[in-house]
Amino acid sequence: MGRFIPIVFGLFALATAAHAQDVEPKVLQFSGVVVTGDSLNPVQFATVYRERDQRGTITDSYGFFSIPAYAGDTIRFSCIGYMGGRYIIPDSLDNDRYNIVQVMGRDTVLLNTTFIYPWPTKERFKEEFLALDMPDSKEDLARRNLEAAMMYDRMVEMGMDGTENYRYAMQQEARRVSYVGMYPTISLLNPIAWAQFIQAWKTGAFKKQ
């Protein structure tokens, strides 16, 4: 009889433990809002996950989240630029929903000064710099437009106005009158004659038909 009592108590303890193992933890819907600690603004796209299986969700644009969890689960919160947080769901809840407001503090990280160079070496920079096709500046364009040859080409291409045409016609008439009865001289130094000659040469007036 003395041996029977301990055996009975041992069997009862094993049965109680087996029954406790068969009882599943209580499932509930764990929801809440993640906000900043300084201004209570919502923390968008923060990671919220269960520590036991590393599964969870992220907050929306309002900082809201909702995941299923067990009573007693440890929930982790993380987001870039903020210090991580942890919350343990109470295991003595009566209902199947639980809501919280999780506050996260900002995590400021000071980085060393970084210099970013577009070329790895000075020799490569020299090659790329010499190969640059730099556009002409306004000063270069103005200097080129004021060159003598450029000015002359513009003068040849530009036609005469009414005053110049009248003056030229009067000069031609005076020259014609002055050479009445004789052959006129050749105007080698007349710039207008040269301009007309060059223009006729460019347009192909001297080509054989």
Residue 143's pLDDT is 82
- Answer whether residue 73 is part of any domain: yes
Which of residues 65, 83, 104 is at a domain's end?
104
The token duo for 73 is 């689960």
119 & 90 share domain: no
3-class DSSP state of 126:
helix
Q: If you ran DSSP here, which 8-state letter would residue 91 be given?
A: S
**82 plus 130 within the same structural domain:** no
Tell me the residue range of the domain where 69 lies: 23-104
Determine the pLDDT at residue 30.
96
Strand ranges inside 46-117, DSSP E = 47-50, 56-58, 64-70, 74-79, 82-88, 97-104
In what helix (H) or strand (E) does residue 34 lie, and over which residues does it extend?
Answer: strand 27-36
Q: Answer whether residue 194 is part of any domain.
A: no
Domain boundary among 61, 86, 104: 104
Q: Is the pTM of this model over 0.75?
A: no
Q: Sheet holding 27-36: strands in order across?
A: 64-70, 27-36, 97-104
- 208: alpha, beta or left? (left if phi > 0; alpha if psi -120 to 50): beta
pLDDT for 4: 44
Between the alpha carbon of residue 39 and those of residues 29, 34, 149, the distances in Å are 27, 12, 71
- Start-to-end CA distance of the chain, whole Å, equals 144
Between β-strands 27-36 and 97-104, what pairing exists: parallel, antiparallel or unpaired? parallel
pLDDT of residue 187: 67
**Residue that is last in its domain, among 104, 121, 143:** 104
Are both 38 and 61 inside the same structural domain? yes
Q: What tens-digit pLDDT sequence spans the chain (209 residues)?
A: 445 455 544 555 555 554 445 557 789 999 999 999 888 999 999 999 999 999 999 999 999 999 999 999 999 999 999 999 999 999 888 889 999 999 999 988 788 888 887 878 888 888 888 888 777 788 888 888 788 887 887 777 777 778 888 888 898 888 788 777 777 666 666 777 788 888 888 887 766 55
